[in-house]
Chain A
Amino acid sequence: MNFKKIFSILLAITLFFALSGEGRANGDYALTGQEAFSGKNLYYSNAVYNNRASYASHKSAFNFAVSKMNAIPYTSINLYAGAGTKANPLRIDMSSVNSASYDWYGQAAYNSGFATLRINEDSTSDAGFIQSNYNKTAMHELAHAFYARHQHSSVSSVMKQGKYSYSDYTTLDKSNFGTKY
């Protein structure tokens, strides 16, 4: 093998890593495995949730999200509805708000032991949400309760921000949850 050939191969390898590095540096790539999470909750097994959303579309969306989360294969996640007990207290609370002061469609506040998920009626109705949009928002917020990070808008994932329609967690989402939980 002559010097010219070796140089060409080395140049090709260098360019390959440089370009993939550039994409990674800008964040416009799919987060996979552990990288797709920023921590770990302590409640994923047999976690009790309370869906007290006051709008039918929100309530339905949260129930939809729970069914899809429970259906993700190869995980230990098991959410069930209830008020909680001393032994197994409430871990995830789901509710509705109706506020023009906040521009978000959904919001999740969580730590390792408890999560509060909300859907905002004012912003979602202003944006013309249909049920599949509410479903995506609910799946997105529920995934945050399990410490999932946002994905870039170019990625096929319920974890990207904004008004989208999804009928289920995507292949990427399921793969990530299967790795983590």
Chain B
Amino acid sequence: MKLTYVIAFSSILLLSGCGHEAKVSTETESVYKNNLEGYINEDTLISDMVSIADFDVPSDVVELKNRSSYIVLVKAIRDLGDDIVNGEVLGSRKEVEVIKGFKNTLKKGDRIIIAEPGYVLNNEYVGVDSYVKMSDGEEYTLFLNPGDDQNEYGIVGLSYGKFSKNKESEVGSFENYTYYSEIEPISFLSKEPHEVNSYEKLRSAVYAEFEQ
């Protein structure tokens, strides 16, 4: 009899716990949905706000590899909204799924968050330096280091650590475009020809070494 009560009481506790977890998941889902819905789409404009960064540009693929804790081939899944650090929006968060790991422990099937140096402000896209956000459904080779949060990663060298076989780099500037949809096919956008040249050299070397 005592055992029956124990089992029954435990079951009640267990079931109420499950219900609570489900409620938290639903709430989390709704927060993400609010962040996701319309975060970036074809109607998103390009901001007149220019954002440019000072960092060490990788000189070659050897340096890029050495600076990276992780090298992965991923598929972009979905946007998770702004990346807010100490009350300031520094970028945005993208969920990706690992297709293949080339360096360290990330492996096929892992879902991770990438802090992208590009974000939406008042329905206008601000790209930091030459960065154009990853497109959902597309594959990218990424060079990463651990980020601020668990399961979050930052891209080494900003745009110089993200590569797509299907997208081309371009000499130009964000201010020459009106809608995000116009820059979405571009992998790297800079008004400086030498920067585009450097990126393309890296891209060739990356795909020569990390053939999928």
Q: Name A's B-contacting residues (CB within 8 A).
A: 25-28, 38-39, 95, 97-112, 118, 123, 127, 137, 140-141, 144, 149-150, 152-153, 161-163
Interface string of B21-59 (1 = CB under 8 A from A): 000000000000000000000000000111111111100
- Residues of the B chain whose Cβ atoms lie less than 8 Å from the Cβ of A108: 50-53
Q: Given A97-B85, A98-B85, 11 other A-B contacts at CB below 8 A?
A: A28-B194, A101-B152, A103-B157, A103-B161, A104-B128, A104-B158, A105-B53, A106-B54, A108-B52, A149-B191, A162-B55
List the 9 closest A-B pairs by CB distance, nearest first: A27-B194, A101-B115, A101-B147, A104-B53, A101-B154, A106-B54, A109-B51, A104-B55, A27-B193
Give me 12 A-to-B residue pairs in the complex whose CB atoms sit less than 8 angstroms apart, sorted by A's number.
Answer: A27-B194, A97-B88, A99-B85, A99-B148, A100-B145, A101-B148, A101-B152, A102-B115, A107-B51, A109-B126, A110-B51, A149-B192
Query: Are A111 and B49 CB-contacts (below 8 A) given A103-B155, A123-B55?
Result: yes
- A104 and B86 contact, CB distance less than 8 A: no
Residues from chain A with Cβ under 8 Å of B91 in the complex: 101-102
Decide: A103 near B86, CB < 8 A? Known: A27-B197, A108-B52, A162-B55: no
Judge whether B173 is part of the interface by a CB distance below 8 angstroms. yes
State A99–B57 Cα separation when bound (angstroms).
18
CA distance A5 to B81 in the complex (A): 69
Q: Known contacts A107-B51, A109-B50, A144-B52: does B192 contact A100 (CB below 8 Å)?
A: no
Q: Which residues of A contact B158 (CB under 8 A)?
A: 102-104
**Given A27-B193, A27-B197, A97-B88, A102 and B117 touching (CB < 8 A)?**
yes
Interchain CB contact (< 8 A) of B54 among A26, A39, A99, A141? A141
CB < 8 Å neighbour of B49 from A38, A100, A110, A162? A110
Residues of B within 8 A of A144 (CB): 52
Known: A101-B154, A103-B145. Contact between A163 and B56, CB under 8 A? yes
Name the residue in A104, A105, A140 with the highest tally of chain B Cβ atoms < 10 Å from its Cβ.
A104
Q: Which residues of B contact A95 (CB under 8 A)?
A: 88
Report the separation of the CA atoms of residues A112 and B50 in the bound assembly, to the nearest whole angstrom. Answer: 10
Instruction: State the Cβ distance, B82 to closest chain A Cβ, in Å.
Output: 12
Q: Are A38 and B191 in contact (CB under 8 A)?
A: yes
A140 to B158, CA, bound (A): 18
